[in-house]
Amino acid sequence: MKTPPFLLGATLIFWGWQTGLLAFALPMALILESSRFIQWRWNFSSQDIRNIANFCLILVILIGIILIINTHSIQFIYTLLQWLPIILFPLVLAQIYSINETIDIRTLFLLLNFFSSPHQKPEEFYLNLTYFYFILCILSTSAVNIQDISFYIGMFLLVAIALFSSRSKRFSPLIWIGLILCAGSLGLVGQMGLHRLHLSFEQAIIEQLSSLSFQDADPFQKSTAMGDIGVLKLSNKIFFRVATDDPETTPILLRESTYNKYKSSSWFATDSQFKSIQPAQNLTTWQLAQQQKNYYKMIFTGGLNRKKGLLKLPNGTFKLNQLPVLKVEKNQYGTVKVQGNPDLMSYQILFNPTINTDSPPTEDDLQIPPSEKPAISQIVQQLNLKGKPPQEILKQVKGFFEDNFSYSLQLLGKDRGQTPLSSFLLKNRSGHCEYFATATALLLREVGIPTRYAIGFSVSEFSALENQFIVRGRDGHAWTLVYIDGVWQNFDTTPGGWSAIEDAAAPQWEIITDIGSFVGFQLTLFLKYISTLNLLKYSWLLMIPLVLIVIQFSSKKRVHRLTAKRILSKSVFSAQQPGTDSEFYLIERALNELGFFRHSSESLKYWIQRLKQELPKNPLIEDLSAIVELHYRYRFDPQGINNTEREELKVMIKSWLNRYQKKE
């Protein structure tokens, strides 16, 4: 079935307008719609169609490769989809200007030939591609994702025109138009509702995952899971990778955000002020603190979520190299946030853990909430910590937690009359890292040691496959920063076996997902490297294989010459076909006025036969059989009827209509 006149041209113009490819769309539409006026057709063989299809396939592959090289992102699929109407245009053009006006589908899908018997002639299946091309143009237009109503209105009008041409003639056009307008209005309302639901659902999922995986922490506030009920579940997915010259010197903890005030199971960064860091001349080097002579280096490879995020850095980070972001900011607590490209980034970190890059302590770094004071004082008195040197206090506190507490992902909830932290210290003595870090921070504050609460990731899993450290969501961690000897230092009192407990809970098939992650990671690095080589100016070299393939196809057989043939014009102004002026259609109209309609799938003969069964004693219906037979000969017989038979048909129809009017 062919598309209605000018529908395909209008669809191409709509596609060109939405995608910005109107310069291609206008001539393409003109060439396609000119087929209704040009009376010449060409005799394309099955081999010709197959060669054109292979040519289109090669174009898809080559353009896909070029897009991958230049975008190194999954977004290349959307760009390729927008160009498909141009790429497949030769195939549709060959069909429209072919004598047959249909294509054997087996010439497009060569695999279908493999399942047929070699001694049996394969069954042919001819198809008109115009409606498929119409749908492809609509899908290609949707890939642009224009955020206004123009796409929906254009799509609705084009689809309505396509449906109108194949509607049932039993119903009034006004009724059909009213129904399609109602359907379009409901579709618009539904589309807007689904769009809003999608955005809300997406935001909820992002927030849920962020809270469980420590990704995209809030630099101003951190709500802990202390006091919750259930099981703390963290992701096994690999979040980022860390490489160093010497794995033994790799820092165990990478800090993401720091807080200094605790209240009601939440930590806050009071008066947090982010200041912009200006890049060096190369725009990828960022100096966070004074340059140091002695330092360590590490390579961090990861991405940004939603084009922004917090960097995971070791203590004493003073410089970042090869960091391709647009903006870097740092607050007084050492938290660094960036904005830039969400793609994979691999940058160098220079750090010296013996220097201090955070602000000096304030009164907030010694604050203890009144609700936690009794339990904290009881433990300090029990351990007799006051008056001792700081290093001895740290050693004693760490031993206290290691000897008397256990690590657990079970969330035990709250006890009546006690805070979750008090229950942890005095009763349960079991919990996850947030309990240990918070309890440690408040205990040390009680004896006059300034502390802060830090969250980030623990780096401990070395991958022999990748020859670097991999960090998963379950490696998210919390610990304490202590201010001793004029430097903020990491102090982690969570029992040492906590990572082994979480590793034991990992699924058995984790090695399979790790291999898949490694392959995807290497492919992304390769595409990123290729993109830096500026290969676009050499992309024309990819046409060399295309030319060689075309030459190979051409050399397999002798030269095939296309033959042209002139046909009757099939334009909208074409001459009337024989039999369309038959007076029998007056009888059909009269029967319709009586309420006897012919179904769109019924022939005239079956319709008359059905009416005879419904009205067995109606003489008007009985007399229609002879009239239909003569009408069929006039309408469909290649030999037609002679003048005498033509006059006889007119007389029979006139007589039937006179009797019909008398019956009224």
Question: What residues contact 375, with CB distance under 8 A and at least 6 apart?
Answer: 418, 419, 421, 422, 425, 426
Output 455-458 pairs: Cβ under 8 A, ≥24 positions apart: 455/214, 455/217, 455/222, 455/255, 455/256, 455/257, 456/214, 456/253, 456/254, 456/255, 456/256, 456/257, 456/312, 457/214, 457/239, 457/240, 457/253, 457/254, 457/256, 457/312, 458/252, 458/253, 458/254, 458/499
Query: pLDDT per residue over 392-418, tens digit each?
Result: 999 999 999 999 998 887 766 666 678
Q: pTM, whole model, 2 decimals?
A: 0.54
Listed as ranges, residues in the chain with pLDDT below 50 are 111-112, 114-115, 206-214, 229-231, 536, 539, 553-554, 556-560, 568-575
Beta strands 430-431 and 406-407: pairing type? parallel
pLDDT at residue 190, as a whole number = 81
pLDDT at residue 111, as a whole number = 44
Q: How many helices (H) and strands (E) does the chain have?
A: 21, 26
pLDDT at residue 207, as a whole number = 45
DSSP H/E element including 303: none
pLDDT at residue 381, as a whole number = 94
